[in-house]
Amino acid sequence: MKRASRALVAYSSSEDDAPADEAPERKKKKLPLLASSFIVPVPVDDPALHQGRVRVTPHVEGQYAAYVYIPLAVHPGTALYSLIDEVLDVIKEMVPAAHAIGEMVSCSSNTSGLVVDSSRRVRELHLSLTRPIFLRAHQREGFQRAIKLIASRRTPFQASFATFSELENDERTRAFLSLEVGAGHNELRDLLSALSPTLQSLRQRDFYSQPRFHVSIAWVLLDPNASVNGNTDTKRHSRAYEGVTIVEGTSDNNLTSNGDIGESNKQFQAKCFPRVPRFPSELIPTLNQRFGARVSSAHIGGFDADTIVVKIGKDIFSWPFQGSHVN
């Protein structure tokens, strides 16, 4: 018996292909505008608000600049405070463009010059233990716990300064006049070793292999296009120590979308916040000759290292050393 053939594929007729009456196109409704409270403003860098400094690391939403340091509070009336005042007077005389650490300076286009808050107050100096590092939001609490644990295992120790030195930041945008630590160096190296596993777990760089622990007391903006004795200062790198971990432009401000601050703004910044090729070569020898014996004396240059601090964005957390040394 023959089976009836069955079509495997049914093809439509020409009538089937005739387009049906198309429905009228519906007009798309425009979405309502977001309220201003939901719009995140794009950070704009204004060096005039930060003594001529600009951000050297681009702003990333949800990323926080951080660093770890030991604070040193220098109170008015102490021998070290008076010494720093004398040193700053010499620096200002030799380098008028220098800025004192902790000194509030503002400059705007509506003023004829710098406005300095010279009121006598506690001067807080920072002894850095890390480079600038960058944390995501979910990493902040874990980082704080790690630093707190390190503090719980450390006992306070005595440290003191040994000499003056000139250091530069990694980006070579600023030079710093610093007091280098002598006594206490070994204890500070131990702290670096304790910090290293946490930094590595976050894929952050360790501190420098040959650290020069220091606190900075003054700084200048560097002009990369300036020349020394008629020649570009290409040898300056040999003098640089990439160990200053002060983060450039730690405010929420950032460069404009095209990465420029504007030509007119540049001219204004150049006038209000002048740049220099470097500190004068005779500055450090002069300071060490005049103040070296005093700064290296335990009575004047000695201090207690008893607290560790972490700054994450604008938030500052501190913990006292309260335990015994644990390897």
Each domain of the chain, given as residue ranges in start order, spans 64-253+262-320
CATH of 64-253+262-320 given 3.90.1140.10, 3.30.9.10, 3.65.10.10, 1.10.10.10: 3.90.1140.10
Please report which confidence band the pLDDT of residue 264 belongs to, taking 50, 70 and 90 as the band edges: very low
Q: Is the pLDDT of residue 166 over 70?
A: yes
Cα 207 to Cα 209: distance, rounded to the nearest angstrom? 7
Q: Which residue has the higher pLDDT, 30 or 230?
A: 30
Q: Is the pLDDT of residue 253 over 50?
A: no
Q: Which two tokens stand for residue 3?
A: 């089976």
pLDDT at residue 323, as a whole number = 74
Average pLDDT over residues 248-262: 35
Please report which confidence band the pLDDT of residue 179 belongs to, taking 50, 70 and 90 as the band edges: very high
SS3 for 101-123 is CCCEEECCCCCCCCEEECCCCCE
Query: What is the per-residue burial (b if ≥16 Cβ within 10 Å, else e) of 66-90?
Result: bbbbbbbebeeeeebbebbeebbee
Mean pLDDT, the chain, whole residue set: 75
pLDDT at residue 172, as a whole number = 84
Residues in the chain: 327
Name the pTM for this structure. 0.68
Cα 96 to Cα 91: distance, rounded to the nearest angstrom? 7
Cα 130 to Cα 132: distance, rounded to the nearest angstrom? 6
Each residue's pLDDT tens digit, 291-323? 999 999 999 999 999 999 999 999 999 999 987
Contact 217, 101 (CB under 8 A): yes
Residue 126 phi, psi (nearest 5): -120, 130
Residue bearing tokens 């794009």: 42
Residues paired with residue 177 on neighbouring β-strands, in sequence order: 166, 218
Q: Is the pLDDT of residue 126 over 60?
A: yes
